[in-house]
Structure 1
Amino acid sequence: MDGLFKVLDIAASGMTAERFRLDVISQNLANSDTTRTEEGGPYRRKTVIFQEALNESANGSKNFGGVKVSSIVEDTSPFRLVYDPNHPDADAEGYVSYPNVNVLREMVDMMSAQRAYEMNAAVVNSAKSMYNSALGIGR
């Protein structure tokens, strides 16, 4: 029975991580035209880095415990330059630096995160079904 709960914990960690990834993707999309931030300059695209989550057992060994967000990193690719001399953030040559957010890439990442979330939800549902079947055997 302990293994079943471990499966649920691992799938839940994946769902939590993918939900966080979706939040960051949404932030990127919302700021895809932000040319001025508090830090100065245009918004920089952010990506989420995952890493395995390890659980320590009673005997001191480490076991896989799912996934967790290890960090959020800014994409260092160059900004998009658009000629618009009337824009308030235009440089001396009339170019405006726009965020390095590619909406198409963000949509693909969003679909990927959504599918990963759905797969983890399917694992949770399968585990619940197996748990209910096991309870039915004991009746």
Structure 2
Amino acid sequence: MSDFSDSRAVSASGLRAQAARLRHVSENIANADTPGYRRKLMAFEAELGPNKPEGAVKTGPVRLDQTQLPKVYDPAHPMADATGHYDGSNVDLVIEIADAREAQRSYEANLKLFDQAREMSRGLFDLLRR
């Protein structure tokens, strides 16, 4: 029975990780026009421990994208310097939308795996009751 619970735990960890990824993508999209905003990046790490199943993942620390911020020319902007420029955001909406779709599909795949493991364990319990 531990194989069924391990598979559910692995898929649940994937669900949590992809949900966190989707939250960061949505924050990036919401702040795409915020001056000086740096895109948030995150990576997944193996979740290790004595009670953790093999294959479980967790989110790593959030990092800020260190690519150069674009200079935007708008002398009327309150953050503009003496030359009329201010730092824009390094968020690329095309990349964020692609990341959001990838996170959504990964979330759906983990959800399907979780549901299948639950159905298989339910079927096994039904067989054992007979």
Determine the structure 1 residue equivalent to 2:56: 66
Question: Structure 1 stretches (4+) deviating beyond 4 angstroms?
Answer: none
Of 34, 39, 43 in structure 1, the residue corresponding to residue 37 of structure 2 is 43
Please report how far the alpha carbon of residue 65 of structure 1 lies from its aligned counterpart in structure 2 after TM superposition.
Answer: 4.8
Residue 105 of structure 2 corresponds to 115
| Count of residue pairs brought into register by the alignment | 129
TM-score by length of 1: 0.87
Aligned residue number for residue 54 of structure 1: 48
1:11·1:124 contact (CA, 8 Å) conserved in 2? yes
Q: Structure 1: state its 5+ residue gaps.
A: 36-41
1:1-139 equivalent positions in 2, closer than 5 A: 1-35=1-35, 42-56=36-50, 64-138=54-128, 139=130
Structure 2 length normalisation: TM-score?
A: 0.92
Shift of 1:136: 2.2
Deviation at 1:84, TM superposition (A): 1.0
User: 1 or 2, which has the higher strand percentage?
Assistant: 1
Equivalent position amino acid for 2:28 in 1: N
* Whole-Å separation in 2 of the counterparts to 1:5 and 1:54: 16
Shift, 1:126, TM fit: 0.7
Asked if the contact 1:6–1:65 (Cα under 8 Å) also holds between the matched residues in 2, the reply is: no
